[in-house]
Amino acid sequence: MVKLTKIYTRSGDDGTTGLGSGARVLKTSVRVEAYGSVDEANAFLGVAIVACEQQAAQGGADDVLGSIVSTLKRCQNDLFDVGADLCTPIEKDEQAGARLRVIAPQTKALERDIDTLNARLGALTSFVLPGGSTGAAALHVARAQARRAERGIVALLQVEADATNPETVRYVNRLSDLLFVMARVANSDGADDVLWEPGQSQGQGKSPGAND
């Protein structure tokens, strides 16, 4: 059980932070960057939840948006698991269950969510630009941040593979896929998606700053 009685400790004023193992590392370390990016992704999930709730209240497809909100809340809890996992390096000869680690069923749950929502959507004929409804726009921001977190975990695995759970990167990868599908569903099942038009602005006059 987590119990916080004091918010500031001054222990990080020297530029270090404590890992779950008790070791102290620089706040610029690749491990801190990895779980920090996961924390940022979690914050953007919170924004997406509020945006989807507001969209539903304004007359959106409230049933499916309500389902999306429920799933996002579960994912927020999972992301805390991811952060706790990354914050605590795997020790040599660590016994199964000794530490909180992300497990394959959590990733599989995301795959089931993707398949269920994707069944509502038609095939894409172009890449999708972030936008459309407020809920979709917020979900796209969360998706982009999840991709950033994924890259951070991959970077950590490159330098500390033995001390890092590879299921964390699989989970965040599927999460970003899920957020993309959710964004399309929030755009009236893709009907309101904003599609990329390659080279749309090319040849439409001078580029900004061009000489007369």
**Confidence band (pLDDT; 50, 70, 90) for 28?**
confident
φ and ψ at residue 26, rounded to 5 degrees: -65, 145
From 33, 44, 34, 32, select the one nearest 144 (Cα to Cα). Answer: 44
**Range 24-31 average pLDDT:** 86
Question: Which residue segments constitute the domains of the chain, with CATH numbers given?
Answer: 24-89+102-119+129-195 (1.20.1200.10)
pLDDT score at 2: 62
- At 59-97, the pLDDT tens digits run 866 789 999 999 999 999 999 999 999 999 999 989 888
Q: Is the pLDDT of residue 184 over 90?
A: yes
Q: Cβ distance 116 to 178 under 8 Å?
A: no
Q: Is the pLDDT of residue 212 over 60?
A: no
Beta strand pairing status for 194-195 and 128-129?
antiparallel
- At 146-171, the pLDDT tens digits run 999 999 999 999 999 999 999 999 99
- At 101-122, the pLDDT tens digits run 999 999 999 999 999 999 999 9
